[in-house]
């Protein structure tokens, strides 16, 4: 559909600048300093999640001081989880930026609204971002390709109106998210009341290793060099499909062909998928049930329960005790669950 607004390339509206890897031999500061170092895992909901923020010493900061981002700029992730866009809070302005992200410096604020740009990149712009990603080696969004992304540009007044409407929608979404969190806490509380804390085991349940309750499978990635491995035959699940508050997998954006499925690893309905590799520790141990046959990548381990094991009961242990998985998960799923 043709846009009713003029179309611009981002390169006409912003200056794209990359972040910087820590200099060789440099480490994060052992204490909180005035110099945050923003990583892709800190990018959440168009802003910054400060729960696991890293900091630099004054000396390290000034070695890479030119790779900072202002609260007036827009960040976008270019490696790892690609295409996350947002704004840095004012109190974190001039934080150092990871090499896996770029900053977009708006050339003319009377022509392009910051919030409008963020909303566009996180929604309608995602399709273009994915088309610009280089997948011949490790997936990455090159800085010069960001310039090529097209954006419709209504008047500044209209941009601000659109952003304001989406701000209100975001507020409703956040309140809904808070309500879901309360529901989750209630579910966990009910489980603990019925079965007790899995670590303390106050009811004296017999304990069993997870490996004895089903088959554990680690996912993989069919070679991307052969595009015939990818198609529309079966979903290929990634860690972003294992997301709270959904207890079942969300739909995968990418699928494999029949040939790709033969190379990949799949599990049947009733299996549990667990994130075992992620950019943030908070994402490790997230779990979801399958209600269909799926394949999945190497960031995920799956458990296909034996017929004698109730998959919902097994899943509930991961839901309640994610912290145990974080403590015991390395290359394969380990740990103990209650056996009733």
Q: Are 289 and 312 in contact (CB under 8 A)?
A: yes
Average pLDDT, the chain: 87
d(C-alpha 72, C-alpha 63), whole Å: 23
User: H or E element: which one contains 319?
Assistant: helix 311-320
d(C-alpha 132, C-alpha 130), whole Å: 5
**pLDDT digits over 241-289, tens only?**
987 667 899 999 899 999 999 999 999 999 999 988 766 666 788 899 9
Read off the pLDDT band of 158 (50, 70, 90). very high
Read off the pLDDT band of 328 (50, 70, 90). low
| Mean pLDDT along residues 216-236 | 94
d(C-alpha 147, C-alpha 8), whole Å: 10
User: What was the pLDDT predicted at 8?
Assistant: 95
Read off the pLDDT band of 122 (50, 70, 90). very high
- Which of residues 124, 154, 184 is at a domain's end? 154
Verify that 207 and 307 share a domain, yes or no: yes
Task: Count CB neighbours of 47 within 10 A.
Answer: 15
For residue 162, is it within any domain? no
d(C-alpha 224, C-alpha 218), whole Å: 18
- Which of residues 123, 154, 185 is at a domain's end? 154
**How many domains is the chain built from?**
2
Main-chain phi, psi angles of 253, to 5 degrees: -85, -15
Full DSSP string of 196-225: --TTT-TT-PEEEEGGGTEEEEE-----TT
Verify that 12 and 150 share a domain, yes or no: yes
Read off the pLDDT band of 337 (50, 70, 90). very low
User: What was the pLDDT predicted at 190?
Assistant: 75
Alpha helices by DSSP H, 123-236: 126-132, 143-146, 156-195
d(C-alpha 309, C-alpha 216), whole Å: 14
d(C-alpha 48, C-alpha 277), whole Å: 21
CA-wise closest residue to 40 among 90, 80, 94: 80
| CATH code for position 20 | 3.90.220.20
d(C-alpha 340, C-alpha 308), whole Å: 11
pLDDT of 329 strictly over 70: no
- Per DSSP bridges, beta strands 36-38 and 95-97 are parallel
**Higher pLDDT among residues 294 and 239, named by residue:** 294
For residue 160, is it within any domain? no
- Which of residues 154, 179, 214 is at a domain's end? 154
* From 27-41, 73-87, 143-157, 316-330, the region with the lowest mean pLDDT: 316-330
Read off the pLDDT band of 201 (50, 70, 90). confident
Verify that 205 and 98 share a domain, yes or no: no
**What percentage of residues in the chain have a pLDDT greater than 70?**
89
d(C-alpha 71, C-alpha 156), whole Å: 19
Please give the residue range of the domain that contains residue 19.
Answer: 7-154
**pLDDT digits over 166-192, tens only?**
988 887 777 777 766 776 677 777 777
For residue 266, is it within any domain? yes
Verify that 27 and 145 share a domain, yes or no: yes
Verify that 12 and 84 share a domain, yes or no: yes
For residue 21, give both structure tokens: 């890897």
* From 47-61, 73-87, 295-309, 321-335, the region with the lowest mean pLDDT: 321-335
d(C-alpha 105, C-alpha 110), whole Å: 13
Q: pTM (2 decimals)?
A: 0.59
Verify that 117 and 214 share a domain, yes or no: no
């Amino acid at each position: 559909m043709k846009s009713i607004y003029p179309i611009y390339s981002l390169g006409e509206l912003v200056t794209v600048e990359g972040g910087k890897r820590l200099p060789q031999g440099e480490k994060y500061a052992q204490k909180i300093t005035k110099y945050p170092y923003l990583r892709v895992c800190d990018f959440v909901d168009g802003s910054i999640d400060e729960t696991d923020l890293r900091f630099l010493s004054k000396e390290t900061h000034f070695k890479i001081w030119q790779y900072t981002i202002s609260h007036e700029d827009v960040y976008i992730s270019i490696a790892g989880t690609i295409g996350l866009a947002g704004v840095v809070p004012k109190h974190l302005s001039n934080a150092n930026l990871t090499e896996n992200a770029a900053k977009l410096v708006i050339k003319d604020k009377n022509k392009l609204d910051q919030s409008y740009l963020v909303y566009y990149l996180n929604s309608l712009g995602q399709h273009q971002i994915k088309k610009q990603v280089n997948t011949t080696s490790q997936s990455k969004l090159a800085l010069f390709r960001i310039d090529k992304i097209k954006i419709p540009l209504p008047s500044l007044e209209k941009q601000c109106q659109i952003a304001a409407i989406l701000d209100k929608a975001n507020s409703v979404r956040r309140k809904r998210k808070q309500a879901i969190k309360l529901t989750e806490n209630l579910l966990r509380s009910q489980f603990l009341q019925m079965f007790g804390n899995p670590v303390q085991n106050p009811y004296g349940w017999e304990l069993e290793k997870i490996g004895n309750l089903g088959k554990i499978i680690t996912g993989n990635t069919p070679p991307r060099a052969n595009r015939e491995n990818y198609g529309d035959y079966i979903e290929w699940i990634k860690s972003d499909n294992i997301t709270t508050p959904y207890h079942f997998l969300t739909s995968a954006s990418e699928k494999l062909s029949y040939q790709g499925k033969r190379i990949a690893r799949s599990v049947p309905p009733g299996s549990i998928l667990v994130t075992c590799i992620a950019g943030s520790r908070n994402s490790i141990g997230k779990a979801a049930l399958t209600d269909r046959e799926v394949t999945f990548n190497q960031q995920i381990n799956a458990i296909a329960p034996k017929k004698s094991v109730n998959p919902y009961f097994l899943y509930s242990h991961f839901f309640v005790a994610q912290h145990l998985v974080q403590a015991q998960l390395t290359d394969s799923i380990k740990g103990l669950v209650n056996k009733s």
